[in-house]
Chain A
Amino acid sequence: MSCLEEIEKTFERIEESDLNTFITLNKEGAIEQAEMIDREGDGEGRLRGVPVAIKDAITTKGIVTTCASHILEDYIPPYNAHVIECLLSEGAIIVGKTNMDEFSMGTSTETSYFGPTLNPHDRTRVPGGSSGGSAAAVAAGEVPLALGSDTGGSIRCPASFCGVVGLKTTYGLVSRYGLIAYANSLEQIGPIARTVPGVARLLDVISKPDARDSTQLGSEGGYLDNLTPTIEGLRIGVPAEFFGEGVDPAVSKAVWDMIHTAEAEGAAYTEISMPSVEYSLAAYYIIAMSEASSNLARFDGMRYGLRLEDTGNWHDTFSMIRAEGFGEEVKRRILLGTYALSAGYYGKYYLKALKVRRMIKEEFDRALKDFDLLFSPTMPFTAFKLGEKVNDPLSLYLADINTVAVNLAGLPSISIPAGYSEGLPIGLQIIGRYFEEQRIMNAAYALLGDVEDE
């Protein structure tokens, strides 16, 4: 099959889909790219001709990038994110921009200005979030590979809900240059695929060093070449706090089944306790919202984005545009973050959250001295119903209990399918040491095998 035929098929699948996985399609650009690849025949490029979907929080030159917000509805960036440059230089084809929670703020993709994405396993349920469009598109077979971003679980949660593999990398492995920031100190761009090799392949391409992100180290890649199923002899820690009261017994059981499988294949597990994890949600939301309140200050409609009729003074015009342009959840987080950073509250909230963050990090460091990997459920439950939690922000925040601690610590972790409960996928989270993505992926590969060829 020619590259063009394959790309046309991809768009057929996407256009026939009722899942609302994409906000913007890059059909013209993708077809042009495919035609060029066909004309050139054989060529270099580790992702040559491979269609890739991009979370709409990642800047793409010339392709509308909305962050699922009304305020950026018509924003066309004049530059590419580092990861996009990497993909293009390896011949990948950008098929479009996937749906997400507005500015990555959510766990269900329901806060998108462009309507929710549906879970391919059950169209009455959410795909998880915030990278719901990316995970659902991969799960539904619309594309083989997608990029998401993970601030507090935004790759792993939808991977878990949609039954695919999603990797949140070590903070500093992938350049954030061009990722529209929600909470800079927590987030990473990462790969989503149906298989572990798919994830490794994409990670090889996007983890190149980039001088434009001071917090990034990058890697030399080689993840796919070095991918070998390895679980024997590994010491696995199972923190009790990740199996706390909100966790669905069916989810617990599925994860324990995986732990026993690992044991059967030669790994040894130990139940451990990580008491400070209990405080991770509070610390996470204070830090994330504080950073968000500052990051989102730039959206004032003056240089780009939503523009309303001028009021005669800039102060009122900015207010009107922000009132109109941001959704409820975004406004809630900006307000809470502004409050947390205000004089008189800074020490009480923000600084305290940083202390908790340090405690959590130290606790993970200790645990990962004794153990090679930590296993837990990714999400405490399977995909919930559309509309079920969207008006109850607190219960939604609680759903992130097992993922946010990892972001606070800056560690890598993967979510892989671990069976089903009532037809809905369950996710296993595997956490590893800093920059040990290879070990994590090797273990995941051993447990998952080649579930499906791309």
Chain B
Amino acid sequence: MLNVHESDVDVMIGLECHVQLNKLNTKLFCGCSSDYQNDPPNTHTCPVCLGLPGALPVINRKAVECGIKVALALNCTIQEETLFYRKNYYYPDLPRGFQISQYDFPLATGGIVHLEGEKGREIRINRVHIEEDPGRLVHKGAIEQAKYTMVDYNRSGMPLLEIVTEPDLKSPQEARQFLNKIRNILEYLDVFDGNLEGSLRVDANLSIEGGQRTEVKNISSYKGAERALLFELTRQKNILRRGKKVVQETRHFDEARGITISLRTKEVEHDYRYFPEPDLVVMRVGGWVREIERSLPELPDAKLDRFLREYGVSPVHAKVLTSNIHLANFFEGVASMIDPAFCTRWIADILKGELNYRGVGVERIAQPDFIDLMKLLEEDKITDHGAIEVIRTILDHGGDVGEIVREKGLLKAEIDETEIAVNAVIEEFKGAVDDYRSGKREALNFLVGQVMKKTRGRADPDHANKLLIGRIED
């Protein structure tokens, strides 16, 4: 078996990512609400997104603004004039018989995305364009046996951004890393929620050793992208090893089985008969771009640099903290109240670990709660172990810090309680005190144990230790 993780061959991967701008309130060309995820089929439709005769599209200005934001964040050049085209093909989920997309004169061209990691590689972006999503086919039962298929047009007309890379990615892992980076940037821009179903779809091109490329379609997750490309890479390597040639073709990724299947061996280029959409006018972005540029938030790479400078966190921690906008904001909120050097470890290592383990986001825990917890730690009122238990409890069941601490008795004992216990133990176990004085060090452990017993474990052992030594040696 070949080890596909080692780059023993020259791999070229290019991606075409379709991301749904799912944080806009309305669709791309009509006023229908885009918040359809939990609603019955065909309830978010109108003459425009159903393509009824006579209905006309009107571009959603906000979608263009979001597109420009993303393109700027990917370091692209925004085109002065941009045009919509009709991409003509028949499919039941496409109510007009054409998709309104872009072709010549896309929104933006020529960008760069920096992959994180030791090398910080540059991936070139070919273009970014705006297009509409078709509806969705729902098969009754499994696709092979389905007696009939239903169409849901709720998704029809949702704004998509197509981001096309140059074939600069060198491995399936890098492809996944790239997709994560894109997701991170889009979430920083607040134009995208990567958790929603169907929010990301990817077509990938892969070739090895300068051979023919294959296109893998139907990838719909970050993990899926890596798996599909790993499979495809192995398949191509095996073909080469058998002394054969890879044929150019389109393959379909079967996510459930983790394999790619040939769709058509001869590359039948679809003739989409692109031509400019006559119902929309040429968009001239002009000074608007400068305006949008000024409103751009701090992006992941800049934030990472700033975290290094401003909080003095380690590169590894800075990377973790900026890998997600919510986590970064959470950290900054906490760090405004708590020593950054102290809370970094708690957020980037401990909290992030607990979140990853549960596959949930940082919004599960309220910032003020976390700050309260950090204060307890700083004031030495709770042990590390106790704090972790509080975090786990909140993530699993909710609740507030004060209550959890009280209910579970996680507070360290108050100082005077420990003192009383120390005094009592010295009175009570004179023999042990004498033993310690005569040099039997282990007698101290016995005495600390007794203090812990009297305080029912709430005393801090270190503190009890110090108090005992102080009193005995007086």
Contact = CB atoms under 8 A, between A and B. Distances in A.
Interface string A49-72: 000000000110000010100001
Contacts of A341: 88, 273-275
A217 to B, nearest CB: 11
A177 B54 contact: yes
B88 A318 contact: no
B368 interface: no
Contact of B271 (A176, A299, A343): A343
Given A290-B275, A343-B271, A346-B275, A215 B281 contact: yes
Contact of A58 (B47, B54, B58): B54
Interface in A67-96: 67, 72, 75, 77-79, 81
B70 to A, nearest CB: 23
A42 to B, nearest CB: 34
A168 B278 CA distance: 19
B56 interface: yes
A214 B281 contact: yes
A14 interface: no
Contact of A298 (B97, B271, B274, B279): B97
Interface string A212-226: 111100000000000
Contacts of B96: 297-298
A292 to B, nearest CB: 11
B280 A214 contact: yes
A304 B151 CA distance: 14
Contact of B90 (A183, A213, A297): A297
A36 interface: no
Interface residues on B, range: 20 to 34
Given A79-B52, A214-B56, A342 B271 contact: yes
Interface string B27-54: 0000000000000000000010011111
Given A79-B47, A214-B59, A341-B275, A65 B53 contact: yes
A77 B46 CA distance: 12
Interface residues of A, number: 45
Contact of A184 (B47, B51, B278): B278
B273 A300 contact: no
22 contacts: A65-B53, A77-B47, A81-B54, A176-B56, A181-B53, A213-B279, A214-B57, A215-B279, A215-B280, A294-B88, A294-B97, A294-B98, A294-B275, A297-B90, A297-B97, A302-B92, A302-B151, A303-B95, A341-B273, A341-B275, A343-B271, A350-B275
Contacts of A291: 275, 278
A160 interface: no
Interface string B71-104: 0000000000000001010101001111000000
B98 A177 contact: no
A145 interface: no
A7 to B, nearest CB: 26
Nearest to B271: A343
A298 B54 contact: no
Interface in A10-53: none
Choose among A179, A185, A298 the residue with the greatest number of B CB atoms under 10 Å from its CB: A298
Determine the main DSSP class of A at the interface with B. loop
A177 B273 contact: no
Nearest to B277: A184
A214 B278 contact: no
A342 B274 CA distance: 9
A72 B54 CA distance: 13
A213 B280 CA distance: 8
Contacts of B281: 214-215
A68 B151 CA distance: 28
A306 to B, nearest CB: 13
A178 interface: yes
A290 B97 CA distance: 14
Contact of B92 (A58, A178, A314): A314
Contacts of B54: 58-59, 77, 81, 176-181
Choose among B53, B57, B280 the residue with the greatest number of A CB atoms under 10 Å from its CB: B53
Interface string A314-355: 110010000000000000000000100111001000100000
Contacts of B98: 294, 297
Contacts of B275: 290-291, 294, 341, 346, 350
A211 interface: yes
A214 B84 CA distance: 13
B53 to A, nearest CB: 4
Given A59-B52, A181-B279, 7 more contacts: A77-B52, A77-B54, A176-B279, A184-B279, A211-B58, A293-B273, A297-B97
Given A78-B52, A298-B51, A214 B58 contact: yes
A65 B52 CA distance: 12
B287 to A, nearest CB: 21
Contacts of B92: 300, 302, 314
B261 interface: no
Nearest to B89: A297
B55 interface: yes
A303 B50 contact: yes
B279 A214 contact: yes
Given A338-B273, A341-B275, A78 B47 contact: yes
Contacts of A184: 278-279
Contacts of A72: 53
Interface in B94-144: 95-98
Nearest to B46: A79
Contact of B52 (A176, A304, A350): A304
Choose among B97, B274, B275 the residue with the greatest number of A CB atoms under 10 Å from its CB: B275
Nearest to B92: A314
Contact of B53 (A180, A215, A300): A180
Sort A-B residue pairs by CB-CB distance and give the 10 closest, nearest first.
A297-B97, A185-B278, A341-B273, A184-B278, A180-B53, A178-B54, A59-B54, A298-B96, A343-B271, A298-B97
A299 B92 CA distance: 11
A58 B52 CA distance: 12
A81 B281 CA distance: 20
B48 to A, nearest CB: 8
A58 B278 CA distance: 18
